[in-house]
Amino acid sequence: MSAGAGVLRSLFGPLNTPLRDWAGRRVWIVGASSGIGEALALALARRGARLALSARGEDKLRAVCAACDGARPGPVAVGTLALALDLTDTAALARARDEILAHWGGIDLVVFNAGTYRPLRAWELSIEAVRETLDLNLVGTMSGVAAVLPTLLAQGSGALALVGSVAGYGGLPKATVYGPSKAALINFAEVLHLDLAPRGIDVFLIDPGFVATPLTAHNDFTMPALQTPAQAAEAIVEGFARGEFEIHFPKRFTRVLKLLQWLPRRLYFPLVRRATGL
C-alpha cells in the first residue's frame, strides 16, 4: 500500500475493527434485562455469540438468558451466563469479571448499557436525582471500564461499547441531569479511543435517539422518530459491522440534533424551545 493510500484509509476507513462474525465471540452486556440491552443480547445470540448478561433484577435477567439460549442457532453447548449486579457496586463488578474469565479465559466485547433516566426540569432538580443519575450513568460506567480494561490490555485485543444518548449532544428540556451524564460519557468514550486504539482496543460509542423502553415510558411528550428496542439493536449490530466509532440512530433524527450544535446559541435556544414546546 502506498503512503497516500495509507493516509486516505486512516482518514476515511473505519475507526474500529469491524465486527461481523459473532460466532463464538465472547460478549458481556451490562444492563441486559430490558430495552436495548435485552434486544441486543437476543440479536447477538441469534448470530452465535457467547453471552454473559448482567442487570440488577435477577429474575428478569434469567428469563432473558433463557430466551437467548433458545434463540442461539444449533445445540447450546455453553449457556448464557447470568451475573446479577449493580453497576455502582465495584466489588460485584470485580466478582462478575472474574467469573467470566474463569468460564471463558478472556473477553472480546463489553457493552455498558446500564443507566437510569428521570425527566426533570431545572426547578425540579434535587441532590438525590443528581447522585442517583451520575452514580449509575457516569461513575458506574467508568468504574466498569476500569474493572475490565486490565484484561483487555493484557490480551492486546477486545472492544468496549458505551451507550450514551443524543441527549448528550446539547442541552435539552427535561434532561437536566441525564443529558450532562451522557455528555460526559461521550467525552469519556472519545478519550478512551484516543488512548486505547493504538494499543489494539476498540471503543464504540452508541448514541440512540428515542427508543421505547421502560425508562422512556416516563416521558409525557411525543418522542420524535421513536424506535423499538429491536430496531435499535439492529442499528447497533450494523454499526459494529462497519467499525464505526459513533453508532447513532435513527439518522433522520440524530443528524438534525448534530446540525443544531453548529448554530449560535441565540438561534439554538429558541429553536429547541419551539420544537419541544417547553
* CA distance between the termini of the chain: 55
Q: Does 130 map to a domain?
A: yes
Cα torsion angle, 216, 28, 102, 147, sign = negative
Residue 39 lies in a domain: yes
pTM for the predicted model, two decimal places? 0.93
Residue 3 falls inside a structural domain:
no
Catalytic annotation present for 178: yes
For the chain, the residue count is: 278
Q: Which of 117, 169, 178, 268 is catalytic?
A: 178
83: in domain: yes
How many folded domains does the chain comprise?
1
- pLDDT tens digits, residue range 202-259? 999 999 999 998 888 888 788 889 999 999 999 999 999 999 999 999 999 999 999 9
Angle, in degrees to the nearest 10, between helices 35-46 and 229-242: 60
* Res 8 pLDDT > 70: no
Give the tens place of pLDDT for each residue, 13-35. 899 999 999 999 999 999 999 99
* Domain CATH code at residue 235: 3.40.50.720
Grid coordinates belonging to 270: 429558541
- Cα separation, 137 vs 114, in Å, equals 7
Is residue 8 one of the residues assigned to a domain? no
pLDDT digits (tens, 9 = 90+) for 160-170: 999 999 999 99
For residue 7, is it within any domain?
Answer: no
11 within a domain of the structure (yes/no): no
- Tell me, what's the pLDDT at 1? 44
State which residues form the domain around 225: 16-276
Q: What local confidence, expressed as pLDDT, does residue 216 receive? A: 86
Tell me whether residue 117 is in a domain. Answer: yes
Neighbours of 96 (CB within 10 A): 23
Does residue 77 carry a pLDDT above 80?
no
